[in-house]
Amino acid sequence: MTQATDSLLPELARKLVETLGLDMSPESVDPNAPLIGAGLGIDSIDTLELVVMIDRDYGVKIDNRAAGVEAFASLAALANFIRERRPAASA
Amino acid sequence: MSLQPRAFVTGIGVLCAGAKNVAELRSLLAEPRRSFAPPTLFPCTGTSAGLPAAEIGALPTDSDVPRTHQLALLAAREAVGSGPAPDAIIVGTTTGGILRTEAALKAGSTSPEDYCFHGLDTVALSLAQAFGVHGPVMTISTACSSAAVALAVGHALLRSGLARRVLVGGADSLCRLTFHGFRSLQLLAPDGCRPLDVNRAGMTVAEGAGFLLLESAPSRPILAVLAGTGLSCDAYHASSPHPEGAGAALAIGRALDDAGISPSDVDYINLHGTGTTDNDAAEAKAVRQIFGKPLPPLSSTKGLTGHPLAAAGGIEAVIATIAIGEGLLPANTGLLALDPALQVVPVAGPTRAPVKTVLSNSFGFGGNNACVVLQAPTARAVATFDGSTRGLPALRVASAACFTAVGDLPQTWDALMRGASTVGFVPDAAFVTAVAATFARRLKRLPRLMLALAQTAHQASGATLPPGLIAVGTAWGALAETHDFLRKLFESNEQFSSPTDFIGSVHNAPAGQIALLLGAAGPNLTCAAGDRSFAQALLCASLGLAAGSSSALVIAAEAYESHFSPLFEPASQGGQASDGGAALVVLPDDGAPGPRLRWLGESAAPGPEFVDELELGSLRDRYDAILVSRPAGFASATDDTIARIAQRGCPLVTVRDRLGQHASVSATVVAILARAVTEGTLPLGESPLPLVRKRLLFLDLGARSTAVEVFA
C-alpha cells in the first residue's frame, strides 16, 4: 500500500464532512460503518452530492444503483471503489 | 347555494417542443413525433455531451427580452387573440430571465442592467405591459406545478368576482440551472424520457409556454370550462414524491370535489408522467387509489413535449382543451415496454373518442401537487354569473412574527417605540436557534429565516393543527443557493453542479420545508412578484380561506446575498440594504378579539388614483394614518405621488426609512400594524402616534400599487 492510497481514507472523511456540512470531526467517521441512513443521517440528496464530488475530484462515476450500493457501503468501501476505478493519470 | 361565476376557457396559446402554436400542437398530437436533442442554448460538453433536452428552436419574434419572456408573450398573444385585454394575469414560472443571468455571470458582468430580467415578476409584467392589464399581475413559482397552481389561483380569482377575464398559464425556457440541476440529480434520461416504461430512466427537461384565457362572461366561443382545481402538499420530502402518492391522491380528490364530479365522470387523465422511476410509480398508485377499476383512458404527453417544468400545467391544460375540442385521446409517446408494476395501461396511439371531462396532473419539488379538471362546454348546463363584484372578507390575525436587524417582533417593536432604526440585516442569532440544527443542516439563510418565522408564528397562534394553507412571498427566492449552484458550475467549466443547491434554489423550497416542519398537507403557494410578493401571498390566502381552508400561514421574507442582491435589487444599492420578513397566521373572521386585515387591491394605477379606485370614502374619517412603502428604483413612488396622497388630509407615514429596503418589508409592516391597532399606538412616524379609529391603510407603491388595511 502506497502513501497516496493511505491518505485517501482521511481525505474522503474530510471531504464527506465538508461537502455535507456534517456537525462532526472527520476523525470521528467510522470507516466501516454504513454511510447512508442511520448514524450520519445521510440521505439520497447527500448521496448525489457525494456522487458529484467523487466524479469531479477523482474522475470516478457512480451512475447506477448497484454501483451506489457498493460505493456507499462504508467510507472504506468508498475508498476501495475509487482506488479500483480511478483513471491511471490521476491515481 | 350561491351562484359562482364559471371559468370559461375562451382562448388558448402554446409553444412546446415540436409546436409553435395551437394548430401545430393539434397536428403533433394527431401524429406524434419526438424532437429531443442536446441543447443548443448553452454549451454541453464533457459530462453532459449528447444528453437530450426538448428545445423549441428559433422563436418567431424579434423581441430582445429573455427567452422565457418571449415564450410567455407568444403563447399569451395567441390565447388573447384580438379579444379584449384581460383584467388580471397569473403566470407560473421558475426560471424567469435566468438564461440571461447565467450568461452575464459567466461573462463576469457586474452591471445591474445585465441582470434586470432576473426577477420572476418581469415575465408577468412584460405581459401586463403588452396587454395593458389593470388588475392583479401575479407570479406563482411552485416548481413543476407552477402553471397548474396558477390555474387554481386564476379560478379562485374569477370565482371571487375580483376579475372577469384572467390570463393564466406558465412559461419556462431551457437554461443551465434546470438542465444541469436535474442532471446532478441523475433524473435526465440518456435516450429521452419514456413515461410508464419498465426501463424508464428519467425525464427530458424541456421549455415552453401554455396560456389560457378564462372568462366569467364569455366574449367569444367557449372552448372548455375550467370546472375544478385541487391543491395539496406531500409534506414528505424536498424533491421526492410521497412513495404511495398520498399528496397526489389528495389533490386529485380535491379537484374532482371542486368540479362536483365523481371519478367515473373522467374521460381522460393527462398524467404528470415525467418518466422518472419515483414519479410514475407514485402517480400510478394515486390514480389507482382514486379511480379503482376500470381506469379511465390515460397518458403522459411528456414523451412528446419533454417536461417544460413551470409551463407543464399550462401546456397540458391546452392539450386537455384540444382533447375535448377534437375528441382525441393523446398517446403516451415514447413507451417501448410498459412497466407491469404500475398496473396502468396508457393510450398507445392517438385515439378518436368523445372527451367531455379531463383531469390534468402537475406535481413539483417540495411535494407540491396541483390538479385541474377541464370539461366540454356542453357537459353541464352553462350557469351564468350574476355579475356582482365582491371584495375579499377581512381576516383575523391570530399571531404575527417578524425579523429585522434588531431581532424579533417584540425587539423590533421596542426599537421603533424608542425611535431607533431597524434597518439592516437580521443577525444570525435571531433565527438560527429556532429550528433544530439536524432539520436545517442543508439549509441556507432564506429557508432558515422562513422556518424560524413559520415556527414562531405557528406556536404563537396556539393552533394544535397544522395551518390549512401556506402562502409564501419572496421576490428573489433563495439567492445564495442559486449563486452557489452557478458558481460551482462555472468553476468546473460547466461540468459539475450541486444537487443540494439546485433543490434549494427553487423559489418554493422554503415553503416545502415549512410544510415538512409543520406537517401541512394543504395548498402550498409561493408568490414571487417583486415588492408585491407579500400582498399576493395574502391574496392567495384570502382566496383559500374564502374557499374553505381553516387557517393560513402567510410569510414573506428576503435573504441578502452579497453577490446577487446588489446586482438584482435596486433597493439593495442604497444605504438601507436590509433583509428579513414576517409571518402571520390568519383565520376567517370568527368574531373573536384581535386585529383584522384585509387585502384591498392591486392596480396599475399610481397611488392617488389607486386610492380613488378602492372607493374607501373619506380617508380622514376612516383611517388614523396611511402607511406608504416606497421601493427604491421605482418612479411610481415619487415625492409628487406621496404629496398627492397626503393631500387627502390623513396623516401619512413612509415606512422603508425606518424598516429598511427589501422586497418583503411589506410583511414586516403589516405584522407591526397588527400590533399597533391592538396597542392603540403606531410607532412608525417621527413619534408614536395614538390611534383613535384603530384602522390603518398600507399602500405599497412599486411596479404596481397594492393596498392592505389593518384594523382592530
pLDDT digits (tens, 9 = 90+) for B320-359: 999 999 999 999 999 999 999 999 999 999 999 999 999 9
User: CB distance from A84 to chain B under 8 Å?
Assistant: no
pLDDT tens-digit map of B241-250? 999 999 999 9
Distance of residue A48 Cα from the nearest chain B Cα, in angstroms: 6
Do the strands B469-473 and B524-527 form a parallel or antiparallel pair, or are they unpaired? parallel
The Cα of B186 is separated from the nearest Cα of chain A by a number of Å equal to 7
Of all residues in chain B, the percent with pLDDT exceeding 90 is 88
Interface with B, mutate which of A17, A48, A57 (most B CBs under 10 A): A48
Q: Which residue has the higher pLDDT, A41 or B420?
A: B420
The amino acid sitting at B38 is: P
Tell me the ipTM for this assembly.
0.91
Domain boundaries, chain A: 3-22+29-90
Q: Would you call A30 an interface residue with chain B, using a CB distance cutoff of 8 Å?
A: no
The pTM of the full predicted model, rounded to 2 decimals, is 0.96
For chain B, where do the domains classified as CATH 3.40.47.10 start and end? 7-57+66-234+241-375, 395-478+496-711
Mean pLDDT across chain B: 94
- Quick one: what percent of chain B has pLDDT higher than 70? 97
Mutant choice from B199, B439, B442 vs A, greatest count of A C-beta within 10 A: B442
Q: Answer yes or no: do B497 and A44 touch at CB < 8 A.
A: no
For B296, counting Cβ atoms within 10 Å of its Cβ (0-12 exposed, 13-18 middle, 19+ buried), the class is middle
Say if residue B277's pLDDT is above 70.
Answer: yes
Whether A65 contacts chain B with CB within 8 A:
no
Under the banding of pLDDT at 50, 70 and 90, the label for residue B578 is: very high
Classified as helix, coil or strand, B586 is strand
* Model confidence at A78: pLDDT above 60: yes
Asked if the peptide bond before residue B294 counts as cis, ω within 30 degrees of 0, the response is yes
Q: State the DSSP code for B383.
A: P
Q: For residue A52, give the nearest of B184, B239, B441 by CB distance.
A: B184
pLDDT tens digits, B364-381: 999 999 999 999 997 454
Contacts of B268 by beta carbon, 8 Å cutoff, 6+ apart: B296, B297, B298, B299, B320, B323, B329, B347, B355, B357, B358, B359
Does the annotation count B307 as an active-site position?
yes
d(Cα B168, Cα B191) in Å, to the nearest integer? 33
Q: Does domain B7-57+66-234+241-375 have CATH number 2.60.320.10?
A: no
Note the pLDDT of residue B462: 96
pLDDT value of position A3: 46
The shortest CB-CB distance from A45 to any of B495, B497, B503 is to B503
Cβ contact, residue pair A56, B240, below 8 Å: no
**How far is CA B426 from its chain centroid?**
26
Which one is catalytic: B16, B44, B134, B144? Answer: B144
Q: Is B144 a catalytic residue?
A: yes
**Band of pLDDT at residue B575, cut at 50, 70 and 90:** low
Confidence category of residue B389, pLDDT binned at 50, 70, 90:
low
Do A51 and B186 lie within an 8 Å CB cutoff? yes
Which grid coordinates are listed for B584? 402571520
CATH code given to domain A3-22+29-90: 1.10.1200.10
pLDDT at position B385 is: 52
Choice among B94-103, B130-139, B464-473, B647-656 with the minimum mean pLDDT: B647-656
Please determine, for residue B290, whether its predicted confidence score (pLDDT) is greater than 90: yes
The whole-number average pLDDT for the span B209-225 is: 96
Span B121-154, pLDDT tens digits: 999 999 999 999 999 999 999 999 999 999 999 9
Is the model's pLDDT at B383 over the cut of 60? no
pLDDT computed for residue B399 by the predictor: 98
Q: Do B239 and A52 touch (CB under 8 A)?
A: no
DSSP secondary structure of B431-484: HTTSS-HHHHTT--HHHHHHHHHHHHHHHHHT-SS--SEEEEE-SS--HHHHHH
Question: Given pLDDT bands bounded at 50, 70 and 90, which one contains residue B2?
Answer: very low
How large is the average pLDDT for residues B557-572?
92
Q: How confident is the model at residue B415 (pLDDT cuts 50, 70, 90)?
A: very high
Over residues B279-300, the mean pLDDT reads 97
Residues of B engaging A, defined by a Cβ cutoff of 8 Å: 47, 184-186, 238-240, 437-438, 441-442, 492, 495-500, 503
Q: Between these two residues, B194 and B83, which has the higher pLDDT value? A: B194
The pLDDT, as a whole number, for residue B577 is 87
pLDDT at residue A39, rounded to an integer: 75
Give yes or no for residue B671 having a pLDDT over 90. Answer: yes
Q: What is the mean pLDDT of residues B301-326?
A: 98
Cβ-contact B168, B315 below 8 angstroms? no
* A21/B441 CB distance under 8 A: yes
Residue B541 has pLDDT above 60, yes or no: yes
Alpha-carbon distance of B712 to B678, in angstroms, equals 6
Asked if the model's pLDDT at residue B489 lies above 80, the reply is yes
Q: Report CA B9 to chain centroid distance, whole Å.
A: 21
Q: How near does any CA of chain A get to the CA of B200, in Å?
A: 13
Q: Are B668 and B424 in contact (CB under 8 A)?
A: no
Is B650 known to be catalytic? no
Q: Contacts of residue A56 in chain B, CB cutoff 8 Å?
A: 492, 495-496
CB B551 within 8 A of CB B467: yes
Strands B580-588 vs B625-629: parallel, antiparallel or unpaired: unpaired
Point out the catalytic residue in the list B69, B134, B155, B272: B272
| Res. B384: pLDDT tops 60 | no
Average pLDDT over residues B489-505: 97
- What is the C-alpha separation between B225 and A19, in angstroms, rounded? 50
Region B395-478+496-711: CATH code: 3.40.47.10
Give the number of beta-carbon pairs within 8 Å between A and B.
37
Chain B: closest CA distance from residue A19 (Å): 10
The pLDDT of residue B631 is 86
Contacts of B186 in chain A (CB under 8 A): 48, 51, 63
Q: Which position among B134, B155, B307, B458 bears the catalytic label? A: B307
Structure confidence by residue, pLDDT tens digits, A3-61? 445 799 999 999 999 999 888 999 999 999 999 876 778 888 999 999 999 999 999 99
